[in-house]
Structure 1
Amino acid sequence: MGSTKITNPSSPHFLQPLMTIDASISVFLHTFFKPILPAFLLLLLEYSADFRFSFPVSLSLFLASPSYSSLAIPLILGHLLDLALIGLIKLTFRRARPHYNPNMSPAVHADNFSFPSGHASRVLFLATLFHLIVQHNEDIVSDSIQRWIKFEPGFVMLGVWVWAIITATSRVLLGRHFFFDVLAGALVGALEGIVAYQFLRF
């Protein structure tokens, strides 16, 4: 795949100190953890939160049983909302990815840009939506967890949050994003989870 020249509009003058701090934090974390954490683990986290994996899983849940449709619909619509919103923000800010970002194959043009992190938004969306569903005693979810996974729903919810936070953090450690990209993506994702639970259930 040929190299693509990325245009990176100059940031407003008042943001320059913040961008410098962001870049310094990001390169420090990337450099410090790179020799410690195995690359395959970081890549596994990347693949686990990829839209091309999580969206088909959501569709499969919808098609599996009519009883899951009320839960699968906000999951599907939330994924689409996340894809559109993150793409719009990326194309608006057009922030280049870190210069030490390893070679990657963007799925769409917007993926060439760094702000905000789509993986971070996606995992926080999933964790927030799952948390709200379990917290409000959706019996079908609790029963399914105990039947198929044999764990208490609260324990599974903790595992989902740990996965989400580690995956979001791995975006900086892998060199895909700057630290503030991940924070912004996580905030967007959490808000998407709330919106999906409150307004996208049918």
Structure 2
Amino acid sequence: MGSYGSISQDDGDDTKADLEQQHAMSLADRLYAYDLTWSTKLYHRFGRDPTPRLCWEIFSHSGDGFLWILTIPPLMGLLWAAGLIGPFEPSTKMLLSALFTVMTVDIIAIMLLKLVFHRQRPPFHQADMRFVGPDQHSFPSGHSTRVWAMVAMLVYLAGTHPWILREFFYGLSPAVLVSVSIVWALIINFSRVALGRHYPTDVLAGTLIGFLVFWPISLFIINYYGMLGVPPPSY
């Protein structure tokens, strides 16, 4: 029998496993090369000059979860204490309850995911005091999960509780509101890559996770506590 006849079945299985592992690593390497190439191109083209960078920063901050949590409730509390707002209509209470449920689910879940995946941000990312703890990691994009979970919330409310959106947004058509929110979310996705904060796959994964995972989790909590239980007003 030839020399190949001495190779055991276990050796053959090990060789096959090694080849499969090498193939998987090469696929990961190719994906990273794609990510790095496009994130570098977009950063150098749109994120280095001061004026466009400022625009992307503004859009990016509009999807900052901690900024929302730290500013909106205290501001509303001050306005309420001063008698400038309130008492809240049922539509306002329901929308704010749903919104802050989404924000809370997103912030907790995104920190856990970033700790699990532990992916470093692009090499040209400029770190500062905002990027500490789990937020120093790149995958998935927390801005993307957050804004697309909010888009999913608006899509849901437009189909099931359109009166809430009409009352809260002063008669604005729910369809128009959803369309504007989608454009806003897409711009935030782009801004995160243009600013050098994320790779394209970070924002793509964030979009899918926010829309298809974080929003269903939030909706379960919202329904469990009956946050949308008030019937529409009779005109």
**TM-score scaled by length of structure 1:** 0.81
| Aligned mate of 2:164, from 114, 124, 140 | 140
Indicate the residue corresponding to 2:52 in structure 1.
38
Deviation at 1:198, TM superposition (A): 4.7
Does residue 72 of structure 2 align to residue 57 of structure 1?
A: yes
Q: Distance in 2 between matches of 1:35 and 1:83?
A: 29
Does residue 201 of structure 2 align to residue 200 of structure 1?
A: no
Deviation at 1:38, TM superposition (A): 1.0
Indicate the residue corresponding to 2:180 in structure 1.
159
Deviation at 1:20, TM superposition (A): 1.6
Q: Deviations over 1:83-106 (max 9, x none)?
A: 121111111111111111123323
Give the letter for the 1:106 counterpart: R
Q: Distance in 1 between matches of 2:157 and 2:216?
A: 10
Query: Are the aligned partners of 1:89 and 1:116 in contact in 2 as well (CA < 8 Å)?
Result: yes
Show structure 1 runs of 5+ residues with no match.
Answer: 1-11
Give the letter for the 1:100 counterpart: F
Indicate the residue corresponding to 2:12 in structure 1.
none
| 1:50-199 superposed matches below 5 A | 50-55=64-69, 56-57=71-72, 60=76, 65=88, 67=90, 68-106=92-130, 108-147=132-171, 151-191=172-212, 192-199=214-221
Indicate the residue corresponding to 2:37 in structure 1.
24
Q: Mark the CA change 1:108 to 1:200 in structure 2 (over 3 Å): closer, same or farther.
A: farther
- Number of residues of Structure 1 aligned to a counterpart in Structure 2: 187
Deviation at 1:43, TM superposition (A): 0.7
Q: Distance in 2 between matches of 1:42 and 1:152?
A: 27
Cα-Cα RMSD: 2.5
Report the 3-state secondary structure (helix = DSSP H, G, I; strand = E; otherwise coil) of the residue aligned with 2:128. Answer: coil
Deviation at 1:152, TM superposition (A): 2.5
Q: Distance in 1 between matches of 2:218 and 2:166?
A: 19
Query: Are the aligned partners of 1:132 and 1:197 in contact in 2 as well (CA < 8 Å)?
Result: no
Indicate the residue corresponding to 1:15 in structure 2.
28
What fraction of aligned residue pairs are identical, expressed as a percent? 27
Q: Distance in 2 between matches of 1:79 and 1:58?
A: 12
**TM-score scaled by length of structure 2:** 0.70
Q: Mark the CA change 1:69 to 1:97 in structure 2 (over 3 Å): closer, same or farther.
A: same
Q: Mark the CA change 1:71 to 1:144 in structure 2 (over 3 Å): closer, same or farther.
A: closer
Q: Mark the CA change 1:144 to 1:69 in structure 2 (over 3 Å): closer, same or farther.
A: closer
